[in-house]
Amino acid sequence: MFYRTARPINSQGEDYKLVTQGGAIRFGVPFSEFDTVFFGAGWERTQIEAGVSIPNSYFLYREAFGDTTDSLPLTLGWQRDGRDSALVPTSGLYQRLNAEWSVALDTRYLRTNYQIQQWIPLSKKYTLGLNAEAGWGKGFGGRPYPIFKNFYGGGLGSVRGFDQSSLGPIDVTGAYIGGNRKLNLNAEFYVPVPGSGNDRTLRLFGYLDAGNVWGEDEKLSLGDLRAAAGIGLSWVSPVGPLKISYGQPVRKFAQDRIQKLQFQIGTAF
């Protein structure tokens, strides 16, 4: 069971949020030393709660389909993990493919995401990490792709140096609404903190990120990619992996929102 609330970023002060509740059952079945298959089913109810104002794209979706949408998503995934460590990898290949398919109730859509990582040991002290992630979604059966299933770009886990979830399509009211396609490309170069020896739990890194998000009516073009470079500190703390990074956009557009200093808990990229 779950209950979550999201407030999408906007620049015009709209007062709205997405409230999602539901439940799901998911299983993971390993079938080799490195491979695992995941599958599951669930129920979701998403409500668009609006105050005085709401972005035009959400207003139109709510007018067409109501402010409450029920879904029965089926999930299927595959993971291959050949890294030498899940927390502080220095070598190996990691791949993950997920698909979410809703075929009943108010929605008909397919949402997929693929990620690949390659870790390369350059020496006993230096490690290069490469990451690529792509997402795609589409509605079918005469139904549009649900706006609340959009992908978002910018910030942690995407293109650092930009404000969280601020890349991609912008509503006519100034809201960042995400899109049905995304692409992230990341590279990180790790070095030990001076005086720490070969301690891999505390490392300095430099990074280069690129990526963006596209809407259904937009042409996917690499010329739209945003990019940023920066430095940071990675620490595997008692509460989990922590990262602090400082970045500078090297390719940006006039409407982009910049956030140079960012703090992250969790994922490797």
Domain assignment of residue 174, yes or no: yes
Mean pLDDT across 18-35: 93
Domain assignment of residue 57, yes or no: no
Report whether 153 contacts 184 (CB < 8 A): yes
Look at residue 12 and give its three-state secondary structure: coil
Phi, psi dihedrals of residue 56, rounded to the nearest 5°: -60, -40
Residues 6+ apart with CB under 8 A from 28: 36, 37, 38
Residues 6+ apart with CB under 8 A from 214: 168, 169, 179, 180, 181, 182, 220, 224
Look at residue 58 and give its three-state secondary structure: helix
Domain assignment of residue 110, yes or no: yes
- Whether the predicted pLDDT of 25 surpasses 60: yes
- Whether the predicted pLDDT of 199 surpasses 70: yes
Give the tens place of pLDDT for each residue, 66-112: 889 999 999 999 999 999 999 899 999 999 999 999 988 899 999 99
- As a whole number of angstroms, the distance between CA 191 and CA 90 comes to 11
Domain assignment of residue 49, yes or no: no
- As a whole number of angstroms, the distance between CA 209 and CA 130 comes to 10
CATH number of the domain enclosing 231: 2.40.160.50
Mean pLDDT across 18-23: 91
For the stretch 69-104, what's the b/e string if a residue is b when 16 or more beta carbons lie within 10 angstroms of its beta carbon? bebbbebebbbbbbbeeeebbbebebbbebbbebee
Residues 6+ apart with CB under 8 A from 50: 15, 16, 58, 59, 62, 67
Global pTM?
0.91
Domain assignment of residue 198, yes or no: yes
| pLDDT the model gives residue 1 | 82
- The whole-angstrom distance between residue 176's C-alpha and the CA centroid of its chain comes to 15
Give the tens place of pLDDT for each residue, 167-180: 999 888 888 889 99
* Structural domain of 242: 76-265
Q: Report the number of distinct structural domains present in the chain.
A: 1
Mean pLDDT across 44-64: 84
- As a whole number of angstroms, the distance between CA 6 and CA 108 comes to 22
Give the tens place of pLDDT for each residue, 218-230: 999 999 999 999 9
Domain assignment of residue 11, yes or no: no
